[in-house]
Amino acid sequence: MRYLPLSDTDRQDMLAAIGARSIDELFADIPADKLMRALPDLPRRKSELEVERILSRMAGKNVPASAAPFFVGAGAYKHHVPATVDHLIQRSEFLTSYTPYQPEIAQGTLQYLFEFQTQVAALTGMEVANASMYDGSTACGEAVLMAHRVTKRRKAVLSGGLHPHYADVVRTLSKMAGDEVVTLAPDVTASEDLLAAVDSGVSCVVVQTPDVFGNLRDLRKLSEKCRETGALLIAVFTEVVSLGLVTPPGAMGADIVVGEGQSIGNALNFGGPYVGLFAAKQKYVRQMPGRLCGETVDADGTRGFVLTLSTREQHIRRDKATSNICTNSGLCALAFTIHMTLLGQEGLARLARINHANAVKLADMLSGVKGVEVLNGAFFNEFTLRLSRPAAAVVERLAEQGVMAGVPVSRLLPKAGLDDLLIVANTEINTDEDRAALVAALKGVL
C-alpha cells in the first residue's frame, strides 16, 4: 500500500526493538488533555475530486483579512506587503537554494542573510543578530535557554504582559529541561512590580514591549536591577513595526532581544510560516542559537560571505550545541530583508507613525462609545478595551456583521477571568470607513 507500508507485525517488532509496549508510550510526554481521544470528524476516504470540493467548502467559511474591516492582532498583524517582495522571492535562485554550507555556490543566500542580520541588529539596538529563528515564540524559548547557559542558573521570571503563547513555549521547554519558571499574573495595565521578582537566583526576566495588551514599557530600571543581581533581561516584541518609532530594547539595556518579524514582508498566512528575530550583546555571541553569517574576503581579496558560527547539533559541536534548531525560516527572512530594504530607515519610521496615528484615532473614537473603556495609557498600534459584555460574544456578533473586531483576551487566557477584555489592533491598512464601521457595530451590539 502506498501510504501504509507497515503491517501490524512490523509495528510490534519496531516497538519491541525500542522497548515500548505500545505506540501510546511514544507520546507519554504529551499532557493527557492535549491528546485527541477520537479521530477528527472527517471522511475516512474520498476521491481527489471529492476532497477538493470538501476542502473548498471548508475554505469558503473563512473571511480573508482583506475582505472586511480588520482589527485583529495579538501577535500576528495585517500590513501591506509590496508586490515587489513576492516577485523577488520567487526568483529561481532563491526558491531552489537551501542551507548555505558551501559558500562558493551560495553567495547570494549568504549575503541576504548577512543583510538580514544587519537590519535586525539595527532595529533592536543590539550588537549582533543571528540568521533568524522559526518564529517569535520559539525565539523567546531559545533566549531563556541561552540565559541559563550564560548565568549558570535555571530560573526564569515571565512578565504578566508576555504573550501567553510565548509563555507556553517557555514553560514547555523548561518543563522538559527541569528548569523553574515563575509566571506573573496577567498585567493588563503594566503595573506589575518586576523589580521585586528579581533576585540572585534568577537567570532571566522576560518582558514584552509593546506587551500583549498593547502597553509600552520602559525597561531601564529593570535593566539596572538585572545587572545588580546578575540576571539577564530578555526583551520581547510581537510587532516589529513598532521599532520604527519606539526606543529599541537595546537602548534600554536589554541583554537579549527576540520577537516576531511577520509584519515586515510576510502576510498573515493563517498562522505561518513566520520568522523569528534574535539579537544579543556581542559578549554572548557564542551562546546564541542558530547560525550567524559573516563577511570575509576570498583568496583574491574580493568581499564574500560565510557561515561564521553554526551551532547546530549536526555539526562538530554535537551534544555541546547551543540549539537543536535544524533550519531557519529562510524564505521568510528573505521577504523581511527585501521589504525592509524597500522601506529604508525613513520609510519604516513613516510607516510606524501612520500605525500609531491610526490607533490613536481609533482609541479616541471608541472611548466615546457607551460600554467601552480604553485601558492603555501609552501604546503603539494596539490597545485593550474593557467592554460591558463578554468580549468573545461581542466579537462573534460583529463578525456576523462583517467586522473583525479583535482578539478576546479570554481566547488567549481562558482561565484568567478577563472575559470582558478585547485586544484591538489598527495598522496602516485600516481606513476611516473601517474605523467608523467598527464604532457603529460596537454601538449597536453594546
Task: Read off the CATH number of the domain in which 309 is found.
Answer: 3.40.640.10
Looking at residue 379, what is its pLDDT? 98
| Residue 1 confidence (pLDDT) | 47
Query: According to the model, what pLDDT value does residue 318 have?
Result: 64
Q: pLDDT at residue 378 above 50? A: yes
Average pLDDT, stretch 356-363? Answer: 98
> What is the pLDDT at residue 312?
57
Where residue 374 sits, what CATH number does that domain have?
A: 3.90.1150.10
Residue 71: closest CA among 391, 377, 382: 382
Q: Do 92 and 153 belong to one domain?
A: yes
> Which element (helix H / strand E) includes 320?
none
151 and 241 in a single domain? The answer is yes
pLDDT over 70 at 327, yes or no: no
Residue at 428 is within a domain: yes
Q: For residues 22 and 15, what is the distance between their CA atoms, to the nearest angstrom?
A: 7
Of 233, 266, 263, nearest to 250 by C-alpha is 233
> How many residues appear in the chain?
446
Structure confidence at residue 315 (pLDDT) = 60
Q: Which of 311, 340, 369 is the last residue of a domain?
A: 340
In 10 A of CB 370, how many CB atoms? 8
Residue 3 has pLDDT above 70, yes or no: no
165-186: average pLDDT: 96
Task: Looking at the structure, tell me whether residues 414 and 310 fall in a common domain.
Answer: no
User: 282 with 376, same domain?
Assistant: no
Q: Report the candidate in 409, 411, 354 with the shortest Cα–Cα distance to residue 211.
A: 409
Contact 130, 292 (CB under 8 A): yes
Number of separate helices (H) and strands (E) present in the chain: 12, 13
Same structural domain, 315 and 392? no
pLDDT beyond 90 at 102? no
For residues 260 and 212, the answer to whether their CB atoms sit within 8 Å is no
Q: How confident is the model at residue 352 (pLDDT cuts 50, 70, 90)?
A: very high
For 153-183, b where at least 16 C-beta lie within 10 A, e where not — what string?
A: bbbbbbbbbbbbbbbebbbebbeeeebebeb
**Whether 89 and 142 share a structural domain:** yes
Number of domains in the chain: 2
pLDDT of 7 strictly over 90: no
Are 202 and 215 in the same domain?
A: yes
Q: Among 313, 340, 367, where does a domain finish? A: 340
pLDDT tens across 248-284, in order?
999 999 999 999 999 999 999 887 899 999 999 999 9
Where in the sequence is the domain holding 75, given as residue range(s)? 67-80+345-445
Picking from 372, 376, 358, the residue whose alpha carbon sits closest to that of residue 427 is 358
Mean pLDDT over 118-127 rounds to 98
In a domain, 4, yes or no: no
Q: Is residue 61 part of a domain?
A: no
Q: CB-based contacts of 311: which residues, under 8 Å, 6+ apart?
A: 286, 288, 289, 290, 291, 317, 321, 322, 323
What integer is the mean pLDDT of 409-416? 97
pLDDT at position 326:
63
Say yes or no: 261 and 394 in one domain: no
Q: Are residues 331 and 415 in the same domain?
A: no
For residues 275 and 121, the answer to whether their CB atoms sit within 8 Å is no
Classify residue 335: in a domain, yes or no: yes
Residues 270 and 162 in one domain: yes
Closest listed residue to residue 216, CA positions, set 179, 253, 190 = 190
Domain end point (choices 277, 305, 340): 340
On whether both 310 and 373 belong to a single domain, the answer is no
Mean per-residue pLDDT, 213-239: 98
Are residues 317 and 266 both part of a single domain? Answer: yes
Q: What is the DSSP letter of 190?
A: S
Residue by residue, DSSP assigns 239-256 as -GGGGGTSPPGGGGT-SE
Percentage with pLDDT > 90 across the chain: 78
- Indicate whether 304 pLDDT > 70: yes
Position of cell 472527517? 42
| Residue 214 falls in which region: left (phi positive, over 0), alpha (psi -120 to 50) or beta | left
Instruction: Please check whether residue 401 lies inside any domain of the structure.
Output: yes
**Using 50, 70 and 90 to split pLDDT, how confident is the model at 314?**
low
Instruction: Look at residues 334, 346, 263, 262 and name the one whose alpha carbon lies nearest to residue 86.
Output: 334
